[in-house]
Amino acid sequence: MSAQAAVALAVSTVIFALRSDAESDFKTLWLPLVRRTRDPYLDQWALPGGGLPGDEELAAAAARTLHETTGLAPRYLEQLYTFGDPGRSAGGRVVSVVYWALVESGEADLAVVGDNVRWFAADRLPRLAFDHNRIVEYALWRLRTKVEYSRIAHAFLGETFTLSQLRDVHEAVLQKSLDPANFRRTIEASGSIVDTGERVAGTRHRPPRLYRYNDSGRQGEPDPFGPEPATAAIPTTN
Amino acid sequence: MSAQAAVALAVSTVIFALRSDAESDFKTLWLPLVRRTRDPYLDQWALPGGGLPGDEELAAAAARTLHETTGLAPRYLEQLYTFGDPGRSAGGRVVSVVYWALVESGEADLAVVGDNVRWFAADRLPRLAFDHNRIVEYALWRLRTKVEYSRIAHAFLGETFTLSQLRDVHEAVLQKSLDPANFRRTIEASGSIVDTGERVAGTRHRPPRLYRYNDSGRQGEPDPFGPEPATAAIPTTN
């Protein structure tokens, strides 16, 4: 078992937010990255994170390192995946437990930015430190395969939203334009959203309707971005 | 970063198989456990697993330790979750990357059994070593919340199956009896299975029909127990 000593543990976090993209017609996914200030990968951009102290829970370490570097404090982080290929770090072997969260743009605007913290478009990343390009690719894959049958899009929006805002999320995640009329028919047929009867406040002649997610009849399907059962529903005394 | 040295890494695996249960009317979920032959938790039952060598990939270590202890070699293991609470081990801190797989009963029958390896009904476990009761509870929760909208049940069955066999899987996972006629109507209405036109070979007057899963129109939904994109679709050179 002496070989175990060679493996270090770290946590990293992928934060996705929806932001307007000056270079395209629609909103796209962005994420905050932190510039490395030491070796290995000095000066390269990396996911927020750090080594795991001996007495800190994994999610707590992810939340702390995220907050220390970016100022962000998402309501909850979900564990995404653990990356442990022996060759993923140029230094000694590091196994990284990766967390992720989707944040509303209001929350994203609270992030500190500066020389060493910056937001990047998820589809136009530079070469990142470690295997962090691969980690972001994996997170995007998870997002894209989940958006069709879950309420992931909801995490990017407020309690109520317009059909146009919801389409923005789907377009950003799927990276393609969606026909507004088809999108409306598909979403309405799915029964997944409910017309609140209210409209966006404003002076337009026909302000857009506000919708919310339909919570009925979905008991069998957990919110993929809801609290982890590991911290909520499962007894911790075993 | 010196605190990192205090954290050891391990892998463990949860293997579920469907087995007939002498104490109940229907099939239930079983899993193989291994008796500990050293401290901590000497003589207690635990998930198959072990420490992570410095040069072995996570999934490879999980597959190797599973095979060494139980003789099982599932076609693929999926990463389930990483458990890392500071107090989860009575010895020093251990972070465990947990894999899981569902195996057909034919595959399950290949397992070695003896004084130190035994199958247990998932809902009647003794007190296990470490936090392994909690890990099994988490795996069961994941299974139950996924079975409704995925093809997890398929992993327990062969290429073709009868409606009765499919109902057995749903009953075992959901831990409740399902009305055969309602089950047939619901499954047929879902369009998720296809009548192969064949029937079970045998001498009965009306042998049961054989079905297979309908693979059309599901491109957007990955098989939750298919190969991990981490090993298939994602470039590994970043």
Q: Cβ separation of B95 and A58 shorter than 8 Å?
A: yes
Instruction: Pull the structure tokens for residue B161.
Output: 């199956």
Q: Cβ separation of B236 and A134 shorter than 8 Å?
A: yes
* Portion of chain A with pLDDT greater than 70, in percent: 83
For residue A169, how many other CB atoms are within 10 A of its CB?
Answer: 21
Residue of chain A whose Cα is closest to the Cα of B221: A145
- On average, the pLDDT of chain A sits at 82
Element counts in chain A: helices (H) and strands (E): 6, 9
Least confidently predicted of A30-34, A180-184, B59-63, B222-226:
B222-226
Average pLDDT score over residue span A33-55: 95
Chain A residues whose CB is inside 8 A of the B81 CB are 79, 230
Residue of chain B whose Cα is closest to the Cα of A93: B54
Least confidently predicted of A19-33, A35-49, B146-160:
B146-160
DSSP tag of A179: -
Q: Cβ separation of B137 and A7 shorter than 8 Å?
A: no
Chain B residues whose CB is inside 8 A of the A58 CB are 82, 84, 95
Instruction: Say which of B79, B138, B145 has its CB closest to residue A81.
Output: B79
Buried b (16+ CB within 10 A) or exposed e, A106-128: ebbeebeeeeebebbebeebeeb
* Portion of chain B with pLDDT greater than 70, in percent: 83
pLDDT tens readout for residues B206-217: 889 999 888 764
Domains of chain A as residue ranges with CATH: 2-146 (3.90.79.10), 149-213 (1.10.10.10)
pLDDT tier at A151, thresholds 50, 70, 90: low
Instruction: Pull the structure tokens for residue B230.
Output: 């981490």
Average pLDDT score over residue span A141-151: 70
Chain A residues whose CB is inside 8 A of the B3 CB are 51-55
Model confidence at B8: pLDDT above 80:
yes
Query: How many CA atoms does the CB half-sphere of A11 hold within 13 Å?
Result: 28
Q: Cβ separation of A5 and B9 shorter than 8 Å?
A: no
ipTM: 0.76
Characterize the bridge pairing of strands A78-83 and A94-103. Answer: antiparallel
Q: Are A109 and A29 in contact (CB under 8 A)?
A: no
d(CA B93, CA B47): 17
Q: Cβ separation of A234 and B145 shorter than 8 Å?
A: no
A170 sits in which H/E element:
helix A163-174
Average pLDDT score over residue span A109-122: 89
Distance from CA of A197 to the nearest CA of B (A): 31
pLDDT given for residue A24 in this prediction: 64
> Rounded to the nearest 10 degrees, how much is the dihedral formed by the CA atoms of A16, A49, A231, A110?
-50
- List of residues 6+ apart from B177 with CB closer than 8 A: B25, B26, B171
pLDDT given for residue A148 in this prediction: 55
Q: Are B98 and B80 in contact (CB under 8 A)?
A: yes
